[in-house]
Chains A and B, each alone.
Chain A
Amino acid sequence: MSDKKKLDHLSSSFEDWEDNKVEKLLDKFPERKKVFSTGSDKEVKRLYTPLNIENMDYEEDLGFPGEYPYTRGVQPTMYRGRFWTMRQYAGFATAEESNKRYKYLLDQGQTGLSVAFDLPTQIGYDSDHSLSEGEVGKVGVAIDSLRDMEVLFDGIPMDKVSTSMTINAPASVLLAMYIVVAEKQGVAANKLRGTIQNDILKEYIARGTYIFPPEESMRLITNIFEYCSKEVPQWNTISISGYHIREAGSTAAQEVAFTLADGIAYVEAAIKAGLDVDDFGPRLSFFFNAHNDLLEEISKYRAARRLWAKIMKERFHAKKEKSMQLKFHTQTAGSTLTAQQPDNNIVRVAIQTLAAVLGGTQSLHTNSRDEALALPTEDSVKIALRTQQIVAYESGVTQTIDPLAGSYYIESLTNSIEEEAMDYIKKIDNLGGATKAIEKGFIQKEIQNSAYKYQMQIESLEQIVVGVNKFQVKETGSRELLRVDPHVEILQRKKLQKLRENRDNEAVNKALEILKAKAETDENLMPYIVDAVREYATLGEICGELREVFGEYEQTVIL
């Protein structure tokens, strides 16, 4: 029988099954709902069969791991070679405290570091700035100068550990500090491995720690691409992030769409700045969310990989394989954690971990059960890390590559997410690209609509959140939470004052003056930022000079 005939036969058998078996049963036992849908509100059919993927071509659409279009993974052996990097995002209070937590995590078998900075650091203010009041050391570690960075990495071998830094608007300054601290440890820049987030577009869209306007921000970003391709060649110069877009309430398909649209904008900016796509393309990395709908999330990662490969090859004519490979970090979804019955969050995180691993992630952060309440305690962080280790060593899902490929549902959903993302990218292209679409508020509005719809579904009980709108209990007793000592702010200010008294202020001022002058030209600013950092110019001083030249971003407020 030919394939066509087989499918025709299947199609009529399927109809028979629906008419004779299903319909009869439905009369007596109706299904739980009229319409079933994914966590992202995509309609889900009762059953998937070869009919739903009849146009799929194995070699063209899936291929082999490590081969275009990378649907099944970016490496030929995936987790049979080595597991993903287990990388817990951590940082709070002072550099001393965070340094202790990093050493603890490395002792517990974590394989990479991920630095969380406090909000003043992320927005380029020193701890003694008036806007920093109440925020110092709260959501991450406070870093004011090279001095803090030296303490943060004290006793941590920077040639062995790879470090990811969640830093965006002032990414160039923190990267410069990292390079200089390594130099002092005797580690050359070309040995350094790690990632800076450096993704300003999603800050405008969803995360909010922007400083400069888009054009100037894009310049800083392409400056980093260029500098690193020569000086820090193993560094991932950007982590194009869908994580926060999803946290802000987008659907899975929107997460893929808006992230890749941002990616397109960065590639275009770098090409416009005169760089070759194959020089910086291999150092682009991505960062996605892992929500609870296991199969939808797995499909999402697969769709993102295939779509990015096509974009790099067909749109930007990349030649190197590495330029086409979408490598990504994953974090489990903070927004799915509940303050109610927080131990339930351990189970949510386990499901999300499975999603990320079955989707082929390169590194993973698992959230702790208490994150809807406060920063996680050491005990909670340990359970979160153990969750990854259990999936890695005990679940069996790492023994073969992309084990869910070929599932009628997974392949159909992968196709559907890719199509929806492509439609969005087309719309964004028509608006003039991601930067313009953000300025017009299009992307923010789409996300807000999804977020609002989801909230209404929870309130109407269309979406059940265990412990929140069903299976509630009266909660008693308070838990042990991690609190940041309010004295951290005073301590950090004192340290800063001492630094300003003891450094060579003439050298600092000279370095800052040069940086400011260079900011007015088209020159690459990285070497001048490194010079200023080396003299112990503070983060706030460096960003202050740049603020004067570049101005500040004005948020488009959309309701």
Chain B
Amino acid sequence: MDRPIRVLVAKPGLDGHDRGAKVIARSLRDAGMEVIYTGLRQTPEQIVAASIQEDVDVVAMSILSGAHNHLFPKVVRLLKEEGVDDVLILGGGVIPEEDIPGLLEAGIKAIFTPGTPTTEVIEFIKANIIRK
């Protein structure tokens, strides 16, 4: 790969809990990736538009309000509709164990819950990046 991994860190939905998203954004940046952070209250449409415009390799979303089952799969679907199928899509936040299989099936490649070390996320991205 001749360019650094580009990551869009996004906050879909209305919740304002961005501590996790920002800590992740910064640790990915410290690990040599290029990180774009969207800020709060992004619609799935806005996230998809930003990921195409910024030509990112990874979309990492964070939700703590419980709206993940609705919003995460919608981003995957919209990306597909735009013909984007080689972006690694990740989710994080307060997400009950039993919701995870459904989200993985919907095309989110991994779900990271509270207590995950940032190094685990970094390793996962490096190992699973689709675009080479």
Tell whether A pairs with B.
yes
B14, A120: Cβ atoms closer than 8 Å: yes
Q: A452-B26, A455-B27 are in contact. Are A557 and B39 (CB under 8 A)?
A: yes
Task: State how many angstroms separate the Cβ of A489 from the closest Cβ of chain B.
Answer: 9
Chain B residues with CB below 8 A from A483, complex form: 96
Name A138's closest neighbour in chain B (CB-CB): B66
Question: Which residues of A sit under 8 angstroms from B17, Cβ to Cβ?
Answer: 208, 247
Return the CB mask of A204-239 against B: 1 if under 8 Å, else 0: 001111000000000000000000000000000000
A37 at the interface (CB under 8 A from B): no
With A134-B67, A135-B67, A451-B19 as known contacts, state yes or no: A338 contacts B114, CB within 8 Å.
Answer: yes
Beyond A119-B15, A203-B16, whether A559 also contacts B22 by CB under 8 A is: yes
Give the docked Cα–Cα distance between A505 and B76 (Å).
41
A422 at the interface (CB under 8 A from B): no
73-130 of chain A: CB within 8 A of chain B: 119-120, 122-123, 130
Query: Known contacts A208-B17, A247-B19, A373-B96: does B66 contact A139 (CB below 8 Å)?
Result: yes
A555 in the interface, Cβ–Cβ < 8 Å?
yes
Q: Is the CB of B13 within 8 A of A373?
A: no
Q: Mark each residue of chain B from 57 to 70: 1 if its CB lies under 8 Å from any CB of chain A, else 0.
A: 00000000111011
CA distance A484 to B67 in the complex (A): 10
**A507 part of interface (Cβ distance < 8 Å):** no
Q: Which of B27, B35, B115, B119 has the most CB of A within 10 A?
A: B115
Answer whether A138 and B94 are a contact pair too, CB < 8 Å, given A249-B19, A455-B23.
no
| B66-109 interface code vs A (CB 8 A; 1 in, 0 out) | 11011100000000000000000000001011100000000000
A455: B residues at CB distance < 8 A: 23, 27, 118
Within 8 A of A (CB), among B23-65: 23, 25-27, 29, 35, 37-41, 43, 65
Within 8 Å by CB of B71, from A134, A207, A208, lies A134
Contact of B69 among A134, A139, A206, A448 (CB under 8 A): A134
Decide: A207 and B16 in contact? CB cutoff 8 A.
yes
Q: Across the interface, which residues of B come within 8 angstroms of A339, CB to CB?
A: 94, 113-115
Query: Are A208 and B96 within 8 A (Cβ)?
Result: no
Residue among A123, A206, A339 facing the most chain B CB atoms (10 A cut-off): A339
Known contacts A119-B13, A208-B18, A335-B19, A459 near B119 by CB under 8 Å? yes
Cα distance A105–B119 when bound, in Å?
A: 42
The answer to whether A134 and B15 touch across the interface, beta carbons within 8 angstroms, is: no
The complex places the Cα of A451 from the Cα of B25 at a distance, in Å, of 12
Which of A134, A206, A338, A557 is in CB contact (< 8 Å) with B70?
A134
Cα distance, A375 to B70, chains bound together (Å): 17
Collect the chain A residues with CB atoms within 8 Å of residue B67's CB: 133-135, 138
Measured as residues with beta carbon below 8 angstroms from the partner, the interface class of chain B is 35 or more
Instruction: Mark out the residues of chain A between 469 and 489 whose CB falls within 8 Å of any chain B CB in the assembled complex.
Output: 469, 478, 481, 483-484
B contact residues around A452 at 8 Å (CB): 22-23, 26-27
Q: How far is the CA of A74 from the CA of B29 in the complex (A)?
A: 47
CB proximity of A67 to chain B, nearest CB, Å: 39
CB pair A559–B37 under 8 Å, yes or no, is: yes
B96 to chain A, nearest CB (A): 5
Q: CA A468 – CA B115 in complex, angstroms?
A: 6
Taking chain A's interface residues, is the majority helix, strand, or loop, or is none over half, making it mixed?
A: loop
A207 to B40 alpha-carbon distance, docked (Å):
10
Q: Assess whether A138 is in contact with B117, with CB atoms less than 8 Å apart.
A: no
Partner of A209, one of B16, B27, B29, B113: B16
From residue A258, how far is it (CB to closest CB) to chain B in Å? 15
The reply to whether A459 and B117 form a contact with Cβ atoms under 8 Å apart is: yes
Question: How distant is the Cα of A17 from the Cα of B29 in the complex, in angstroms?
Answer: 48
On chain A, the residues within 8 Å of B119 by CB distance are 459
Chain B contacts of A119 at CB under 8 A?
13-15, 65
A135's contact among B13, B35, B40, B98, by CB below 8 Å, is which?
Answer: B13
Nearest-neighbour CB distance to chain A for B54, whole angstroms, equals 14
Shortest Cβ distance from A122 into chain B, in angstroms? 8
- Asked if A275 is at the interface (CB within 8 A of a chain B CB), the reply is no
- Is A340 part of the binding interface, using a Cβ–Cβ cutoff of 8 Å? yes
- Residue from the set A208, A247, A468, A483 with the largest chain B CB neighbour count within 10 Å: A208
CA distance A458 to B29 in the complex (A): 19
Q: Say if the beta carbon of A372 comes within 8 Å of chain B.
A: yes
Whether the pair A478, B98 counts as a contact (CB closer than 8 A) is yes
A248 located at the interface, meaning its Cβ lies under 8 Å from any Cβ of chain B in the complex? yes
CB-nearest residue of chain B relative to A248? B19
- Which chain B positions have C-beta within 8 A of A373? 94, 96-97
- Interchain CB contact under 8 A, A208 and B22: no
Nearest Cβ in chain B — how far from A92, in angstroms?
Answer: 9
Kindly provide the distance from the CB of B60 to the nearest chain A CB, expressed in whole angstroms. 13
Residue ID in chain B nearest A455 by CB atoms: B23
CB neighbours (8 Å) of B18 from chain A are: 208, 248
**CA gap between A375 and B96 in the complex, in Å:** 10
B-side contacts of A206, CB under 8 Å: 16
Contacts of B70 in A (CB 8 A): 133-134
Q: Is A374 close to B, CB under 8 A? A: yes
A131 within 8 Å of B (CB atoms): yes
Q: How far is the CB of B87 from chain A (nearest CB, A)?
A: 21
Is A448 a contact of B71 with CB atoms below 8 Å?
Answer: no
Contacts of A465 in B (CB 8 A): 115
Contact indicator B25/A559 (Cβ below 8 Å): yes
- With A455-B23, A559-B22, A559-B26 as contacts: A139 and B15 at CB distance below 8 Å: yes
Contacts of B16 in A (CB 8 A): 203, 206-209
- Kindly state the separation between the CA atoms of A1 and B115 in the bound complex, as whole angstroms: 56
Q: List 25 A-B contacts (CB under 8 A).
A: A119-B13, A132-B14, A134-B71, A135-B15, A207-B16, A208-B40, A247-B17, A335-B19, A339-B94, A340-B115, A375-B66, A448-B26, A451-B22, A452-B26, A455-B23, A455-B27, A459-B117, A459-B118, A468-B115, A478-B97, A478-B98, A555-B40, A557-B38, A559-B22, A559-B26
| Across the A-B interface, the 6 shortest Cβ-Cβ residue pairs | A208-B16, A134-B70, A119-B14, A134-B67, A138-B66, A557-B39
Assuming A120-B14, A209-B14, A372-B94, what are 9 further A-B pairs, CB within 8 angstroms?
A: A133-B71, A138-B65, A247-B17, A372-B114, A459-B118, A481-B96, A481-B98, A484-B66, A559-B25
Point out residues on A near B: beta carbons under 8 Å.
119-120, 122-123, 130-135, 138-139, 203, 206-209, 247-249, 335, 338-340, 372-375, 448, 451-452, 455, 458-459, 465, 468-469, 478, 481, 483-484, 555, 557, 559
